[in-house]
Amino acid sequence: MRIIGGQAKGRRIAVPPGYAVRPTADRIKEALFNILASVDGLMFLDLYAGTGNVGMEALSRGAKQVVFVEKINLLVKSIKKNLDEFGFQGRYRIVHMDAEKAIMCLAQEGASFDLIFADPPYRMGLIDNTLGLLKVYSSILAGDGKLILQHVVSEPLKLRTDTAFELEDSRRYGDTLLSFLRHSRQ
């Protein structure tokens, strides 16, 4: 796993040995950032950060700041070590708690993000939970911001009519979907 673009291009991301993670594959990450075109100067939230792979890519490509949300201590330490080795000091924050609680805390702080990337563990119903919380705390996504959900094809996105978001685009990469949402215009 490596950074594929920007100032840290080619740098390897260290992952704790023996720890089973499902990082976003390089080809999906590359497609994501090609679709986004530019993250330069944007505020980026990496929910369910895991290895921090996607947020690190955003920093390398010029994101103003990235907030990484991860609850597993070993992964938090690994993210911090990688970020510091890549020279990203002062441009990141790590929130060491589960994503649901972090959404509430960040919203209560008045945080707002141009891009929110969420890649919850597959087949656990976390997509619906995450969307529900982001509906309640919708101010966490800037007015013209995008929410990107990475999920497995067998766990399709089910947007209800009362949701705060509408689907803008969806791309399939094998068994993985990237769904791009924005605030609903209702």
Q: Where are the domains of the chain?
A: 26-183
pLDDT at 21: 65
Q: How confident is the model at residue 146 (pLDDT cuts 50, 70, 90)?
A: very high
CATH class in words for 26-183: alpha beta
Q: How far apart are CA 81 and CA 121, in angstroms?
A: 23
Q: Note the pLDDT of residue 3.
A: 95
The 10 Å Cβ neighbour count of residue 109 is 9
According to DSSP, residue 12 is labeled: B
Q: How confident is the model at residue 31 (pLDDT cuts 50, 70, 90)?
A: very high
∠ CA 13-17-20, rounded to 5° = 90
32 with 59: CB under 8 angstroms? no
Q: Does residue 22 register a pLDDT over 90? A: no
Handedness of CA 103, 106, 112, 117 (dihedral sign): negative
pLDDT of residue 71: 94
Kindly give the residue spans of alpha helices, DSSP state H, lying in the chain.
Answer: 26-36, 53-60, 73-85, 99-109, 126-136
- In this prediction, residue 186 has a pLDDT band, given cuts at 50, 70 and 90, of low
pLDDT band, residue 169 (cuts 50/70/90): very high
pTM of whole model > 0.85?
Answer: yes
Please give the share of the chain, as a percent, with pLDDT higher than 70: 95
1 has a pLDDT exceeding 70: yes
Mean pLDDT calculated for residue range 102-118: 97
CA distances from 169 to 42, 105, 178, 186 (A): 20, 29, 8, 18
| Mean pLDDT of the 141-156 span | 91
What is the Cα–Cα distance from 2 to 9, expressed in whole angstroms? Answer: 8
The mean per-residue pLDDT over the stretch 66-89 comes to: 96
Question: Following DSSP, what letter does each residue of 86-112 receive, concatenated?
Answer: TT-TTSEEEE-S-HHHHHHHHHHHT--
pLDDT higher for 20 or 75?
A: 75
Share of the chain above pLDDT 90, in %: 71
Q: Is the pLDDT of residue 160 over 70?
A: no
Cα–Cα nearest to 91, from 121, 128, 119, 66: 66
Comparing 31-35, 132-136, 168-172, the range with the smallest average pLDDT is 132-136
